[in-house]
Structure 1
Amino acid sequence: MSEKHCYIVSYDLCQPNRNYQDLYAALKSFPVWGRLTESTWAIVTDKTHAEIRDFLMKYIDNNDRLIVILSGKSAAWTKVLAPNEWVKNNLVL
Structure 2
Amino acid sequence: MALNSYLIGYDLNKSGQNYSLLIEKIKELANGYWHHLDSTWIIKHPGPATSIRDALAPYIDSNDELLVVKLNREAAWKGFNPRGADWIKTHL
What TM-score, normalized to structure 1?
A: 0.87
Moved over 6 A (4+): none
CA deviation string 1:29-64 (max 9, x = no partner): 122111131111000011210000000101101111
2:51 is matched with which residue? 51
Aligned runs of 1:1-93 on 2, under 5 Å?
A: 2-29=1-28, 30-80=30-80, 83-90=84-91, 92=92
Task: Return 5+ residue gaps in structure 1 as ranges.
Answer: none
Task: Return 5+ residue gaps in structure 2 as ranges.
Answer: none
Q: Which has the higher helix share?
A: 2
Counterpart contact for 1:10–1:68, Cα < 8 Å: yes
Give the superposition deviation at 1:19: 1.2
What TM-score, normalized to structure 2?
A: 0.88
User: Bigger shift: 23-32 or 6-15?
Assistant: 23-32
* Identity of matched residues, %: 31
Counterpart contact for 1:37–1:80, Cα < 8 Å: no
| Equivalences, count | 90
